[in-house]
Structure 1
Amino acid sequence: MGKQGLSLGRDDIVQLKEAYKWITHPLFSEELGVPVDGKSLFEVSVIFAHPETDEDCHFLSTSCPDCFKPAKNKQSVFTRMAVVKALDKIKEEDFRKKFPCPPNSPKSFCSAVEIECAHGAVFVAGRYNKYSRNLPQTPWIIDGERKLESSVEELISSQLLTVFKAESFNFSSSGREDVDVRTLGNGRPFAVELVNPRRVQFTSRDIKELQQKINISSDKIQVRDLQLVTREAIGHMKEGEEVKTKTYSALVWTDKAIQKKDIEFLDDLKDLQINQKTPLRVLHRRPLAIRTRIIHTMETHYIDEHHFRLHLKTQAGTYIKEFVHGDFGRTKPNIGSLMDGTADILELDVESVDVDWPPALND
């Protein structure tokens, strides 16, 4: 091209897919009776085949062998990205030697072999309460064997999947509770990504009815503040993981007989700093480390000689069970060491997750 006096930059060359859009968009608009929106979440994917020119780019593999590496989910190494990468690396004179410029006119038409319609993901958020001490947050499967019949994730997402007519979903939340821990108060924030939904138009009334449907389906969970959100908004749920606070209620047992006065000193401890080595019970899925956490406040309620209720406000990420029983000395200090005895936790409830998202809705 240089010899012909043409100086074209990358931005001057129109990609074939863009030219195809220019031709087809007006046709789609006229046929369907709707305007074309280039930023729409609804996508139509068309795959063309043209056997005559299938091997036109194969010469690039000798110029850039590193660009064309087999991938498990790709039928051919000559993907669009690989070809673009190779074209960036090949010299113009080498390209001209291997490929005619301008290219030869094709003798046959291409054919559309696959047309697929898909919709971009839709996101639903809310807060859930968990009232069962025998329900995991996500499916509990060990070595391919399901341990419990359901989970918070499934009880919520199965209803959404059906109503939105989506292919699949991805569940996320602001932290998680153990299978035997209840989540009370205003609940725990969660979000569900619904992949390729067939239905996307919902009124606020529709969403409210969907929330009621979820709540009627099980007595183990309840959902509130259910609403449609954007992908970007979900970032608010994950913001401040280390600075947000959580409030808990624990039923504590002590080996020594106690009186009310024996536990009152705990009420006076403020912003207690503790060091927690990764608990034994999660060591199989968490790296070994020592994490410093803050117990902001504690409030005790005496029950009897061996039991008291402990309300705690802590830094997010604190292992509450281990703070009570000490985890064989891996959490220091702990309730047992502070009381100069042995303590254990019998019940634990999450009373609040202090994340101001998603926005509360009026019933």
Structure 2
Amino acid sequence: MGEECMLEKQLVEESIRQSGLPCHALRDLLSIGVCPRCIFRLFGVHGDVYSCLSLSSSLLWSVLDLSNGHEEATDCKVHEGSSSPQDLKVGPEFCVVCWGILQLSYDEQAQQTFDLVASTAQLVKGEGFEIDSFSLEVSVPPIILGNERSVWLYMKKRYGSESRFQDKFFSGSISVKDALRFSITKSLEEMLAVKVAVRSFHIRFTYTHSDASSKISLVQGSRTDGHKKQKRGDKELLEGIDASDLEINKESFGLDIAEQDRIFQVPPAKVNQPCKVTTLCYRTPVYVGGRYLKYSRNVSQTRWIIDEERMGETSVEEIIGNLTLSILKADSYKFHAAGREDIDVRMLGSGRPFLVEIANARSLSSHTEFAELQEKINNLEPRIVRVKNLKEVGVDAWTILQQGEAEKQKQYAALVWISRSLEDEDLKCMSSIKEMDIIQRTPIRVLHRRSPLERKRMIHWMRAERIHGSKQFFILHLCTQAGTYIKEFVHGDLGRTHPNLGSILGCRAEILQLDVTDVKMDCFNS
């Protein structure tokens, strides 16, 4: 036996000694097919014993001096009809409680070799994830709770007179999920060269078993027998139970003891097929924020396809999103912005705040990467979109964006035509307007996709700037509440916006060109 195996055997011996586990009970549980990790967790044993790679039934038998079927103590007898240590080596059998979840590697007669730790490390590296830490998530079949209760009933029937085996003798037990974490965390940390921490990268194990579904059906049938109507949602509720989150007691699964004994064999039946595990590696979304400027009047904010025909040259969303996806080596993205401008409206000045929600990024984000990303976007030809202040932001930035879309101020510059000559009195009139309320019914141009509502908005201020050599054209600068329809405020939208610039000046008014010049949101500044 190698030095490492000797050390692990000593650790098992020490765990048994310090925990005061009864020899006869350990032998008995081994004989009915409970794996060592389940034995230790059911008795509430903590420590490094779970991470022993060589921890197996044969090792525990040898620690108990039973590797040759030898019985040396009168208080350590295996129950009649149980398997001997030699019998346990025949055929691929798995733990009758965890159904192989805590048997981390096996090959024997299963015609395959499976090693949970090695396969997980290979998956993480194979998918190209760069990680600085990881967290473990585990989902197990709820029916394992019934297996634990079967063992509880078995031990109570055999050893109920002993103080250790009273009603609550499993009350300090460790869940299968926690025991699995204890078992593999150290090895995974070594293989991945990083530590466990509550961070953005997650490894999720989802265990399923075909027999679990059939037993759930039996439980469901027993819970509804004798009732005229089946309680809606019972099966879904049961399937949502996590075995490790429930106390093992006589009311498990809402069945009486007789029904539980009928469904869950005591002791549990032998298991020839282990749980199937699906391993998923993923990173929680990365949020990249900044401000964008749009210089073209033929570029939409988001991808715009009507009847399979693209509207405009491209979109701000695609330019920024696709490059971000490439740099961070992610699966997909979602683009969010603080409001939107029409395809024919430029976004100038300070730019419009935006977020790109990046799903499952393989690359660790850094200041250098964001600087590289910003440079790539800004150097694209033709230069129709530019970004600034690009950086990683927290998920709370999404809430700030939503608030800004409805509550913040936005500034515009518009080229306006009126049906008569612009007078000095008109300039004074527009400049005198401060904090003016307007009512806007949903514009005709968006009625096909917006609810027909009346919205109260505010014009904070306006000022007009003459254009040299022109009597009917001028530049209108205005600051409004976010969500104001600027084109409709100028021309009135057949009276659906009131008051409007045309009614204020007493003439027809039209916008020929419109630019957004400022969207005030301090959190997206540099």
TM-score range, shorter chain: 0.7 to 0.9
Larger helix proportion of the pair? 2
Contact 1:49 1:110 in 2 (8 A): no
Residue equivalent to 2:376: 213
Contact 1:128 1:189 in 2 (8 A): yes
Q: TM-score, normalising length from structure 1?
A: 0.86
CA deviation vs aligned residue, 1:101-148 (integer Å, no higher than 9, x gap): 766244224154533322222111111001111111000112343223
Shift in Å at residue 287 of structure 1?
Answer: 1.2
Following the alignment from structure 2 to structure 1, what is the Cα–Cα distance between the partners of residues 487 and 219?
60
Following the alignment from structure 2 to structure 1, what is the Cα–Cα distance between the partners of residues 311 and 267?
62
Residue equivalent to 1:73: none
231-240 or 174-183, which deviates more:
231-240
Equivalent of 1:57 in 201, 216, 227? 216
Shift in Å at residue 19 of structure 1?
Answer: 2.3
Residue 46 of structure 1 pairs with residue 205 of structure 2:
yes
Contact 2:404 2:482 in 1 (8 A): no
**1:262-273 alignment to 2 at 5 Å?**
262-273=426-437
What residue ranges of structure 2 are gaps of 5+ in the alignment? 1-148, 157-165, 224-229
**1:251-262 alignment to 2 at 5 Å?**
251-262=415-426
Residue 239 of structure 1 pairs with residue 403 of structure 2:
yes
Residue equivalent to 1:24: 184
Residue 357 of structure 1 pairs with residue 357 of structure 2:
no
Following the alignment from structure 2 to structure 1, what is the Cα–Cα distance between the partners of residues 494 and 169?
71
Change (3 A) 1:78 1:92: closer
Following the alignment from structure 2 to structure 1, what is the Cα–Cα distance between the partners of residues 261 and 309?
60
Residue equivalent to 1:137: 301
What amino acid sits opposite 2:284 in the alignment?
Answer: G
Following the alignment from structure 1 to structure 2, what is the Cα–Cα distance between the partners of residues 68 and 53?
16
Change (3 A) 1:339 1:201: closer
What amino acid sits opposite 1:21 in the alignment?
Answer: R
Contact 2:338 2:404 in 1 (8 A): no
Residue equivalent to 2:344: 180
SS in 2 for 1:313: strand
What amino acid sits opposite 2:492 in the alignment?
Answer: G
Q: TM-score, normalising length from structure 2?
A: 0.61
Following the alignment from structure 1 to structure 2, what is the Cα–Cα distance between the partners of residues 146 and 281?
19
CA deviation vs aligned residue, 1:157-176 (integer Å, no higher than 9, x gap): 11000010000001101111
Residue equivalent to 1:346: 512
Residue equivalent to 1:335: 501
Equivalent of 1:6 in 167, 181, 189? 167
Residue equivalent to 1:72: none
CA deviation vs aligned residue, 1:196-220 (integer Å, no higher than 9, x gap): 1111142x23321210011112411
Following the alignment from structure 1 to structure 2, what is the Cα–Cα distance between the partners of residues 346 and 34?
59
Shift in Å at residue 8 of structure 1?
Answer: 9.3
CA deviation vs aligned residue, 1:7-63 (integer Å, no higher than 9, x gap): 599x966443232222121221233333222x1322223344433444221224443
What amino acid sits opposite 1:46 in the alignment?
Answer: F
Shift in Å at residue 312 of structure 1?
Answer: 0.3
CA deviation vs aligned residue, 1:243-266 (integer Å, no higher than 9, x gap): 311111111111123333334311
Change (3 A) 1:98 1:150: farther
Residue equivalent to 2:125: none
Contact 2:200 2:283 in 1 (8 A): yes
Following the alignment from structure 2 to structure 1, what is the Cα–Cα distance between the partners of residues 239 and 460?
55
Contact 1:247 1:350 in 2 (8 A): yes
SS in 1 for 2:180: helix
CA deviation vs aligned residue, 1:216-257 (integer Å, no higher than 9, x gap): 124111000000112123322233543311111111111123
What amino acid sits opposite 1:67 in the alignment?
Answer: G
Change (3 A) 1:54 1:214: same
SS in 1 for 2:323: helix
Contact 1:266 1:300 in 2 (8 A): yes
Residue equivalent to 1:35: 195
Shift in Å at residue 353 of structure 1?
Answer: 0.2
Following the alignment from structure 2 to structure 1, what is the Cα–Cα distance between the partners of residues 434 and 294?
29
SS in 2 for 1:217: coil
Residue 313 of structure 1 pairs with residue 479 of structure 2:
yes
**1:56-135 alignment to 2 at 5 Å?**
56-62=215-221, 63=223, 66-67=232-233, 80-81=239-240, 91-93=254-256, 96=260, 99-100=263-264, 104-112=268-276, 114-135=278-299
Q: Which structure's CA Rg is the greater one? A: 2
Residue equivalent to 1:297: 461
Contact 1:60 1:83 in 2 (8 A): no
What amino acid sits opposite 1:282 in the alignment?
Answer: V
Change (3 A) 1:102 1:66: farther
Change (3 A) 1:96 1:330: same
Residue equivalent to 2:104: none
Contact 1:260 1:302 in 2 (8 A): no
CA deviation vs aligned residue, 1:259-302 (integer Å, no higher than 9, x gap): 33334311111111100001111112221111111101000112
SS in 1 for 2:296: coil
Following the alignment from structure 2 to structure 1, what is the Cα–Cα distance between the partners of residues 234 and 326?
41
Following the alignment from structure 1 to structure 2, what is the Cα–Cα distance between the partners of residues 59 and 48?
20
Contact 2:328 2:365 in 1 (8 A): no
Contact 2:207 2:277 in 1 (8 A): yes
Q: Identity percentage over the alignment?
A: 37
Following the alignment from structure 2 to structure 1, what is the Cα–Cα distance between the partners of residues 511 and 521?
26
279-288 or 234-243, which deviates more:
234-243
Q: Relative contact order: is structure 1 or structure 2 higher (C-alpha 8 Å, sep ≥ 6)?
A: 1
Contact 2:412 2:518 in 1 (8 A): yes
SS in 2 for 1:285: coil
Contact 1:250 1:309 in 2 (8 A): yes
Following the alignment from structure 2 to structure 1, what is the Cα–Cα distance between the partners of residues 179 and 200?
20
Following the alignment from structure 1 to structure 2, what is the Cα–Cα distance between the partners of residues 171 and 27?
39
SS in 2 for 1:128: strand
SS in 2 for 1:55: helix
